[in-house]
Amino acid sequence: MAGLSERAAALVTSEPLMAHLATSVDDRPHVAPVWFDYADDRGVIEVLTTGRKLENIRENPRVALSIQKDENGQAQWKVTILGTATVVTDDDPRKDATRRINRKYGAEESAWPENELVRVSVGTVTVSEY
């Protein structure tokens, strides 16, 4: 897996920022904020989610992620990722991702155990710096 470029990886791992995950089924897009982690060793973005996002991914695995850094309402940079999502059904990787991602965002490591692990294989990446 190719993963993110060195510059894109440095930006998206610089601090705990929110990503927006876009899914689409029947030509009806759905965009929602998510917590994420970049697993550099596997070249994937890991997201924990439930609900409509998860249902859409199971039906159409093509997704987009947008991650942006703002200061006082002014965009500093953004990374847009197009990729293919896979729902991971193995319990151990899900628990590991839950601990890592929750810790990253300051939540209890065991919070939201109902979330499912989704890995997004990176296809194309666009980096814009302002």
**43, amino acid identity:** G
Q: Is the pTM of this model over 0.75?
A: yes
Question: Length of the chain, please?
Answer: 130
- 46-57: pLDDT as tens digits: 999 999 999 999
| Domains of the chain, CATH where assigned | 6-129 (2.30.110.10)
pLDDT at 101: 96
DSSP category for residue 71: E
Write the pLDDT tens digit of every residue in 17-41: 999 999 999 999 999 999 999 988 8
Of 64, 62, 51, 60, nearest to 112 by C-alpha is 51
